[in-house]
Amino acid sequence: MRLVACRTCHTQYDVTSVVDAEIPCRCGEKIENRSFDGIEAQVHRCGSCGAQVGADALSCEYCSSEIIRDDAQLSLICPECFGRNAEASRYCTGCGVGFRPQQVEVEGVELPCPVCGCLMPVRAIGGLGINECPQCNGIWAPENRFDHLVTQACEVARKAGPGASFAASARKAGANPYLAKVVYRKCPVCDAHMRRANFQKRSGVIVDRCHEHGTWLDADELEQIAGFILEGGMGAGGERAYAMKTELNAMRRREAAALARAIKGESMTIESARERSGNGGFLSMLLKELLD
């Protein structure tokens, strides 16, 4: 988890999956979204209960939690003193501040769905404000947020590496998108007909784009794009695509569906696995989904 804190009101925010350079604090202040290296701080507090502990203590006298000192496990950086802490810590072992991150508020306005016309509320997907239709489950990614989503998904696929044992593709034999009935959707902002574009020219996933305002994805298209990326369709690891042809179709579709759910932040199993310690970021959820 990556945290930042407001210098004025000290509200903490989970910015694990936030790409914006600056985030708005609820007090009105702007907070710079940057990563810190973290410093080795002397241990004064128990990371579990916050009680005072001796500098050399191996466990807490009060709650008997282990005091973790193994640097490899100290991945959570305190946003107040920049001391390194264990990922699951509830208090900073250096300065004693409690870790209680808030979700970053995402920007956006309700818009009418280009398919069914009902209002699409804004929700955070991968730390970005995305409109999702409650009826048809289509997704409207305003401005260039679609590209951010794809970048994040690619990054996850890259990190997982070519040896990762996942497979995903929602593309099925005979599903030629050019044979399907063509419907030109209208942009929910300017009402002009959107341009239909084959994602990455050869994915076979047709997305609708308004150059000015954003990208529309029908309900299963995010899933299909996820499948295309994981197959190596975006470049790196293209050899995987061939190996995966031997995978069972059903399994591939299930995995792609899970990935799409993870992208949308819907996978309950992942959330519960993170013990709801703050909110699992997009990348951590996606990584977990891919690596499990």
**Residue 52 found at the interface with Zn ion (CB under 5 A):** no
Coil, strand or helix at 282:
helix
Tell me the C-alpha to C-alpha distance, in Å, between residue 177 and each of 26, 171, 207: 45, 10, 11
Contact 69, 54 (CB under 8 A): no
Q: How far is the CB of 285 from Zn ion (least distance, A)?
A: 25
Which of 23, 106, 113, 206 binds Zn ion (CB under 5 A)? It is: 113
Contact at 8 Å (CB) between 97 and 89? no
d(CA 290, CA 5): 30
Task: Give the residues across from 32 on adjacent strands.
Answer: 22
Which residue number, 130 or 157, has a Cβ lying nearer to Zn ion?
130
Confirm or reject binding of residue 78 to Zn ion (CB under 5 A): yes
Burial class (CB in 10 A: 0-12, 13-18, 19+), 250: exposed
- Which of 135, 144, 198, 272 forms a contact with Zn ion (CB under 5 A)? 135
One-letter amino acid of 137: N
CB 221 within 8 A of CB 136: no
Question: CB of 81: closest distance to Zn ion in angstroms?
Answer: 3
Site membership for Zn ion, residue 80 (CB under 5 A): yes
Is 43 near Zn ion (CB under 5 A)?
no
The answer to whether 273 contacts Zn ion (rule: CB under 5 A) is no
Q: By rule CB under 5 A, what count of residues binds Zn ion? A: 33
172-191 residues in contact with Zn ion (CB under 5 A) are: 187, 189-190
| Binding residue (CB under 5 A) for Zn ion from 115, 170, 229, 270 | 115
58 is an interface residue for Zn ion by CB under 5 A: no
Member of 133, 141, 234, 285 binding Zn ion (CB under 5 A):
133
Residue number with CB closer to Zn ion (102 or 200): 102
Nearest-approach distance from CB 278 to Zn ion, in angstroms: 16
98 — alpha (psi -120 to 50), left (phi > 0) or beta?
beta
The piece of 12-20, 80-88, 103-111, 144-152 that touches Zn ion (CB under 5 A) is 80-88
The three-state secondary structure class of 274 is: coil
Phi and psi angles of residue 35, each rounded to the nearest 5 degrees, phi first: -90, 145
Rounded least distance, CB 5 to Zn ion, Å: 8
Does residue 213 bind Zn ion (CB under 5 A)?
yes
Residue 135 CA to its chain's centroid (Å) = 23
Radius of gyration of the chain (CA): 22
Question: How far apart are the C-alpha atoms of 92 and 128, rounded to whole Å?
Answer: 28
Given the rule CB under 5 A, which residues bind Zn ion? 6, 8-9, 25, 27, 29, 46, 48-49, 51, 60, 62-63, 65, 78, 80-81, 83, 92, 94-95, 113, 115-116, 133, 135-136, 187, 189-190, 210, 212-213
